[in-house]
Structure 1
Amino acid sequence: MDWLQVVVLSIVQGLTEFLPISSSAHLILVPVLTPWDDQGLAFDVALHIGSLSAVVLYFRQELARMAVSWAGSLRGGGMDDDARLAWGVLLATLPVCVFGLAFRDAIEVGMRSPLIIAAGLIGFGLVLGYADWRHRGGRSEYQLRLRDVVLIGLAQALALIPGTSRSGITITAALLLGMSREGAARFSFLLSIPVIVLAGGLEVTGLIQEAATVDWPAVVVGTLLSGISAYLCIHYFLVVIKRVGMQPFVVYRLLLGAWLLWLFW
């Protein structure tokens, strides 16, 4: 890998992992639209480690409280807001685990075309735009009901389709269920933690089986750049949506989807 490829892929991963514009779509499109070879599993793992480190660092205080309360609930200590949120994150992760394992091969082989990505960007972008336009609620991530958690978890499974966006579809579902923009985004970011861990675990398994040579300088730089860009993305995204909502990201999705249709139709 050359250093321009390392920098571009790292920043693309860090930014798009948490923005509602589909990280998988962008990482699929970069090699399609450039002469670069596939970056390899080791670098993919590095990018996920960077993104995971960023979200864990950003929410470190909330995660610490959630871990303590969750452990206490296992010992019969009752359920407070942090314990309920922790259980909600775990429960909402189950659907994507089940569907991801069941349809992983079919998705990786048959659903990575630019046209499918374009359809996902446009279709789910319009739904996000509608959800943001009509949102009526103000509930935070600590006020989720069991029904909300189940529905957001089922929505998250749709993110297996390239172009959907994991953060985009979970924020969309949360807004439609009456959550505030910030609450929807924060719950989406917390949901990313087990998903990234699971995806990274599958990639590590593949990496061990592949036994390929690792470009360690690229891996280290990629991890750092992905982590820094992801941390900044989380911080400024939460600031931006308070002021202007999701519409700028909807417009971006529609323009990118239209451009892909024009290129590949």
Structure 2
Amino acid sequence: METFQIVILALIQGLTEFLPISSSAHLILPAEVFGWQDQGLAFDVAVHFGSLLAVVFYFRRDIGVLIRDGLGGFTEDRFTDDGRLAWLIVLATIPVGLVGLIFKDFIETHLRSAAVIAATTIGFGILLWWADVRGRRVETLSQLNWKKALLIGLSQVLALVPGTSRSGITMTAGLMLGMKREAAARFSFLLSIPVIALSAILLTVELLALDSVPWNDLLLGTLLSCISAYLCIHFFLQFISRIGMAPFAIYRLILGAVLIWMIWG
């Protein structure tokens, strides 16, 4: 790919991976506007890995405590709030892992159309706004129980449909279940770690079958995706309690309308 294409796509992937606005919807736009070819499997691996590095580095202290307390609960016969949260993340990851493995080929074959992405961008944008307005927004992460974590995990299955937004649907579910905005966002970001890691592993397995790999391009894509994703997480968590989800819902409606115009205009 051209350097300009690498920069644009890596920045888009890094920013939209964690904002509730759908990365797949955004990756359609530059391809349509500039007439670019599909970026390919190797680049997908690189930018996913960059996003993974960003979220792991940002939550590095939290992850250390989650692992320590999650495993320590078995030896001490008592789970702390962080230890319990660690296993809730594991529980919430199981549905999307199972469904993704079973229906991966079907989704890639039948659900990656621009029409599907436009519809899900708009539909789940409206649902995000509704959940933000109607949700009680009172519960913290320490109040999250296994039933609610599992429901959020089940909602994450919908993110396998392009245009839904993994972060968007999990935050929507969290808000509908009464979580505070920052708590819903934080759980969504922590929940992304095993999901992105599993996705990167599966893509890497497919990547090993390729004859040649453009390592310089991939390194640039990884770096840019990591930087943009890290900044996105940092500023989103700082401002989400004040600005709410309405700006993202409105943005999704506009983006969906643009996609519809591009398809049928």
Q: TM bucket by the smaller chain?
A: over 0.9
Change (3 A) 1:77 1:229: same
Work out the CA distance in 2 between the residues paired with 1:34 and 1:73. Answer: 53
Work out the CA distance in 1 between the residues paired with 2:188 and 2:162. Answer: 18
Aligned residues: 264
Corresponding residue for 1:125?
A: 125
| Cα deviation, residue 240, structure 1 | 2.1
| Structure 1 runs, 4 residues or longer, greater than 6 Å off | none
Mean Cα deviation higher: 114-123 or 132-141: 132-141
Corresponding residue for 2:101?
A: 101
Corresponding residue for 1:44?
A: 44
Corresponding residue for 1:207?
A: 207
Mean Cα deviation higher: 195-204 or 238-247: 238-247
The residue type equivalent to 2:251 in the other structure is Y
1:255 aligns with 2:257: no
Work out the CA distance in 1 between the residues paired with 2:201 and 2:74. Answer: 25
Do the aligned residues in 2 keep the contact of 1:159 with 1:166 (CA within 8 Å)? yes
Work out the CA distance in 2 between the residues paired with 1:27 and 1:260. Answer: 11
1:56 aligns with 2:28: no
Secondary structure at the counterpart of residue 44 of structure 1 = helix
Work out the CA distance in 1 between the residues paired with 2:28 and 2:142. Answer: 35
1:18-97 counterparts in 2 under 5 A? Answer: 18-97=18-97
Corresponding residue for 1:221?
A: 220
| Cα deviation, residue 32, structure 1 | 3.9
1:237-256 counterparts in 2 under 5 A? Answer: 237-256=236-255
Change (3 A) 1:8 1:143: same
Do the aligned residues in 1 keep the contact of 2:158 with 2:169 (CA within 8 Å)? yes
| Cα deviation, residue 29, structure 1 | 4.3
Secondary structure at the counterpart of residue 139 of structure 1 = coil
Secondary structure at the counterpart of residue 75 of structure 1 = helix
| Cα deviation, residue 30, structure 1 | 3.5
Do the aligned residues in 1 keep the contact of 2:10 with 2:221 (CA within 8 Å)? yes
- Provide the alpha-carbon RMSD of the alignment: 1.2
The residue type equivalent to 1:195 in the other structure is V
Return 5+ residue gaps in structure 1 as ranges. none
Corresponding residue for 1:168?
A: 168
Corresponding residue for 1:152?
A: 152
Work out the CA distance in 1 between the residues paired with 2:32 and 2:158. Answer: 23
Do the aligned residues in 2 keep the contact of 1:29 with 1:114 (CA within 8 Å)? no
Do the aligned residues in 2 keep the contact of 1:28 with 1:112 (CA within 8 Å)? no
Do the aligned residues in 2 keep the contact of 1:22 with 1:166 (CA within 8 Å)? yes
Mean Cα deviation higher: 6-15 or 130-139: 130-139
Describe the superposition over 1:73-112 as per-residue Cα deviations: whole angstroms up to 9, x where unpaired. Answer: 2335421101111001110001101111111111101111
TM-score where L is the length of structure 1: 0.96
Secondary structure at the counterpart of residue 137 of structure 2 = coil
Work out the CA distance in 2 between the residues paired with 1:84 and 1:134. Answer: 28
Secondary structure at the counterpart of residue 121 of structure 1 = helix
TM-score where L is the length of structure 2: 0.96
Describe the superposition over 1:212-245 as per-residue Cα deviations: whole angstroms up to 9, x where unpaired. Answer: 3111111111111100000000011112212110
Work out the CA distance in 2 between the residues paired with 1:198 and 1:33. Answer: 31
Secondary structure at the counterpart of residue 38 of structure 2 = coil
Secondary structure at the counterpart of residue 149 of structure 1 = helix
The residue type equivalent to 1:66 in the other structure is L
Work out the CA distance in 2 between the residues paired with 1:3 and 1:95. Answer: 38
Do the aligned residues in 2 keep the contact of 1:112 with 1:162 (CA within 8 Å)? yes
| Cα deviation, residue 31, structure 1 | 2.6
Secondary structure at the counterpart of residue 212 of structure 1 = coil
The residue type equivalent to 1:130 in the other structure is W
Work out the CA distance in 2 between the residues paired with 1:80 and 1:143. Answer: 12
